[in-house]
Every structure is written in C-alpha cells, then in structure tokens.
Structure 1
Amino acid sequence: MLTAPETTAKVKTSPVNGRGVRRSGLSSEIADRLREMIQEGELAPASRIMEKELCEYFEISKTPLREALKVLVAEGLIKHRQHLGYHISEIDIDEIGAIFDVLHGLEELAGRQLCIGIDEDALSAIERKHQAMLVQHANGKRTAYFRLNQEIHQMIVDAARNPVLSSIYANLMAKIHRARGVANAESLRWQESLLEHEQIMQALSTGSASLPQVLREHSEHTATEVMKALHLLASQTAASRHAITPSNQSISTRR
C-alpha cells in the first residue's frame, strides 16, 4: 500500500512543523499537502483515511484536519460516508482510457505541425527542461522527474502554436494527472520512458518526419503502463475488501 513519504526530523521552534506544514492557514496547508499526495499517487485510491494517524503525522489537532478533508470532499478527491469515514476516491479507469485515446491523436497532430518547423526559442526551452529532467532521473527524484516530464509534453504541444490544441491538451492532461501519478509511483518503466524522451528530443531537434509517430508511440506506451497499473490497483482493492479488515486498508505513515 502506498504510504505517506518519509520526512525530516521535527523542528518545533520553526513556524513550519516537521511535516512541512505552516502553522498559519493550517487547514489550507493541510488540504494542499493531502491534495498533492493524492495527485502524485502517494496516497492510493480507495485507501481509508485514519484521522488519528494523520493528526500525528502532521502534528496537528483534528479540527484543521477535518476542515481540510471537507475541502477535498468538495473537490471529489476524497469521499465521506457516515459510519465508514473518509476514503480516497477511486479513479474511473474507463474514462482514463478514453482520454488517452484522444491524447495520442493530439500529440501526433502536434508532431505533424512541428515537422514543418519549430521556433528556436521554444526548442531551446524544451531542451533546457529536458536536461533538468535528466538531472532528476540521475538523482532518483521520481516525483520531480514526473512533473518535468509533464511540463515537457505541454511545451512540445504549445510549440505547435495552435491555442485550441494547447488548451484541449492541457485540460485532458489535468484529468489524467492523478492516474499518471498513481502509475508513476508503482511503475518500473522509468528507464524506458527516459529513452523514449531522448528519441523525442532527437526527432524534435532535427525536424525528423518520424516525430509524429515517435510522440504517438510514447503516448501509447505511457497509456499501456498507466492502465496496467490502474487495473492492478483495482484488482488489489477489490481483493482487499474481501480479505482484510478496514484498519489494514488505512493510510499509514512511515516512521
């Protein structure tokens, strides 16, 4: 089960506690941190939230935690049922698959436009972002790598200079961000993804006619990995509902 990340020792004299949460605007800070943990896959879909554990983890009382949970319930990231408590919302796998089908075509469309030409400043910016992503890969920073990866894809689409394409792409990518975060947390395809990005950069910098296909295939490979991870998680969740007690499905923290 996915758990909350390890953190540094407590710093009680600081306005920021040991979990990186500021004491001012506490419920908002907690909501932001939980939202990030859910979106990045650190907290698994269907996991039960144990308020006592989270209060200990964030070093807070129940009041700001419950205020934060209400915000995330309103956003649809968390569900609350009477007598059953709070759970992380599950992901609609069919919807994610349908979105990916559209994204494949959008990336290919951007690639066809970029074969005609790409602005040098845009290319340089993408190359700098790619180098920054390589650094995160070398340092084993999976979450930072993932964020830069997402930014690179949006920059590539934006470089096609079609505002409608960019807007639709950004909107759909936002819809699958959480699903990709969950898969990213469990995936072993990190190295393969990096190699595919190298191929994309090569095709982009040379204006290769292969760019549309390279972009589409990378998108398809990503979708395959994400869908595999989501189906595996769904099967594990279904099995756990029959095989283990609710307390074993809760969000826990590593000490």
Structure 2
Amino acid sequence: MFPISVMSVTQTLPKSTRLRTLGMSAEIAARLRTMIEEGELPPGARIDERAFCEMFDVSKTPLREALKVLVSEGLVLHRQYIGYRVAPLDLDELRSTFETLHGLEATAGELAAARLSEVAMARLERKHQAMLEAHAAGRRTEYFRTNQEIHQLIIDGAANPVLAGIYAMLMSKVHRARGAANADMLRWQESHEEHEAIMAALREPGRPRLAQVLRQHSENTAKEVLTVVARTLSEPAGHIATEAKGKR
C-alpha cells in the first residue's frame, strides 16, 4: 500500500498537472517493466528511488505512481520502511511451467511442420538474419527480443489458437527469468547455435525434426534459467543505485 500522503498529493494537484504526472508515470512504468522482464533489473534487486529519480529526471511522485502499477502486477514488492524491490522468482513454479512449455513447443513444432506458410517461413528467415546481426554486434537486448519473435512466429504458424493462448500465458510467467538467464554470455552463444539448428529443421522437406529440435532447445533453456534463478535466490540482492546513475 502506498502511504496516504503520496496518494493525497497526486489527488490534490491541478487537473492538467495530474494528467502530465499520470502520463509520465505510465512511461516510467513501461521502462521499468522492460528492465525487469529483460533481466536488466534482476529478481530481488533493491529499487533506489533517488537513483531512479535522477535517471528519469523526475520527482518521486510519478516514480511512485509507476511503482504502484508494478506492485499491482506482481513485478515489484513494497514494504513500509524498507522500500521497493524487484519481486523474487518462484523456482518450483518456474520448473513446473517449463515442464509444460516443453510439450507445447514440441506440439507447436508438429503442427507448424505441416501448416507453416511460405510467407511465414520468409518472415522467419528475415528475423533469423536480424538475430544473427544482433548477435554479431553484441546487442544482447535486441537479440533477446528477436529470439522471442522467432518463437512466436513458430507458435503462430501452428495455427492453433488454444495452444497459442496457453503458450502466451505460460511465457508471461517465465519471461523475466529468461531475461535474467540471457545475460549469461555462454548461454547466449549456445542459444545462438540452437537457433541455427531450428532454422535448419524448418528448411528441411516435411520438417520431420522440428518438434524434437524445439523441445530440446526448450529443455536447454529451462536448465540454464533454473540454474541462474537458483543462484540468484542464494545470493544477497544488491541495489541498483550505481547502475541507474550510470545509465543517465
């Protein structure tokens, strides 16, 4: 819960000022959400309000409005007198979610093998090339986003809306854990090589190996993500004041 004083300050501002503040808060919330989901703000990290106010060049009011949104989404925790932290990850829930995702990836591969259109395949080739360029240039965030887009194109190519809906729900649970693991440079290289294997399977006539290759990639990703999460859960969480100031 936010202190009453913060809510009352926002409510008593002139209407035009409130609108600007709320709009600013939405932008800040979006930027923080991306930082959390892509692993830039790791699970358990302390959110130094002063550092982020300096980083975004704002007062505490819009920052706290943004944090309130992230608290409601379960991405951030707030404790009175302690402050804000990125919500930790639940290792058991992640493990169970990944076990389900392995099967979905394989099923999507079986369906996409027969249903993927030439137009969709051409888009996959373009995305793969963009991912190769991001990898070669060391653009980790761009690589990660393009990687996700490739997986989504395969899911779309399966042409099964029920599968797509379940996949989206489960991916939302593991997305920021995958972002944290993606920061590991060794896994980044391994993932790059596995995506080459996925594209090779997609190019084969009939695509007989696609389901197997997708499942293996999912299992390898899960193994690394769970290892990284287990390690972070055993380490004391630091704060991000220095990093935030460095990104101004």
How does the TM-score come out when normalised to structure 2? 0.85
Report how far residue 23 of structure 1 moved.
8.5
What is the one-letter code of the residue matched to 1:198? E
C-alpha contact (below 8 Å) 2:22/2:62 kept by paired residues: no
User: Equivalents in 1 of 2:22, 2:90: separation in Å?
Assistant: 35
SS of the residue 1:87 aligns to: strand
Deviations 1:48-85 (A, max 9, x none): 12211111122211111111111111111111111111
What is the one-letter code of the residue matched to 1:253? T
What is the one-letter code of the residue matched to 1:87? R
1:122 pairs with 2:125: no
Please identify, of 141-150 and 23-32, the stretch whose mean Cα deviation from structure 2 is larger: 23-32
1:155 to 142, 153, 166: 153
SS of the residue 1:172 aligns to: helix
Alignment of 1:34-45 (within 5 A): 34-45=32-43
Report how far residue 24 of structure 1 moved.
8.6
Alignment of 1:24-43 (within 5 A): 25-43=23-41
C-alpha contact (below 8 Å) 1:180/1:226 kept by paired residues: yes
- Identity, in percent, stands at 57
1:251 pairs with 2:233: no
Report how far residue 117 of structure 1 moved.
5.0
1:236 pairs with 2:217: no
C-alpha contact (below 8 Å) 1:41/1:185 kept by paired residues: yes
Say what the alpha-carbon RMSD is for the aligned residues.
1.7
Deviations 1:133-158 (A, max 9, x none): 11111111111111111111111121
Change (3 A) 1:33 1:114: closer
User: Equivalents in 2 of 1:32, 1:114: separation in Å?
Assistant: 33
What is the one-letter code of the residue matched to 2:209? S
User: Equivalents in 1 of 2:240, 2:202: separation in Å?
Assistant: 43
C-alpha contact (below 8 Å) 1:154/1:169 kept by paired residues: no
C-alpha contact (below 8 Å) 2:112/2:159 kept by paired residues: no
2:73 to 68, 71, 75: 75
> Which 4+ runs in 1 deviate beyond 4 A?
none
Report how far residue 200 of structure 1 moved.
0.8
SS of the residue 2:84 aligns to: strand
- Aligned position for 1:217: 216
- Aligned position for 2:85: 87
C-alpha contact (below 8 Å) 1:41/1:181 kept by paired residues: yes
SS of the residue 1:57 aligns to: helix
What is the one-letter code of the residue matched to 2:64? R
User: Equivalents in 1 of 2:178, 2:185: separation in Å?
Assistant: 10
Change (3 A) 1:65 1:118: closer
C-alpha contact (below 8 Å) 2:115/2:157 kept by paired residues: no
1:188 to 176, 186, 206: 186
User: Equivalents in 2 of 1:211, 1:100: separation in Å?
Assistant: 19
User: Equivalents in 2 of 1:23, 1:68: separation in Å?
Assistant: 10
Gaps in structure 2 of 5+ consecutive residues: 1-19
User: Equivalents in 2 of 1:203, 1:186: separation in Å?
Assistant: 26
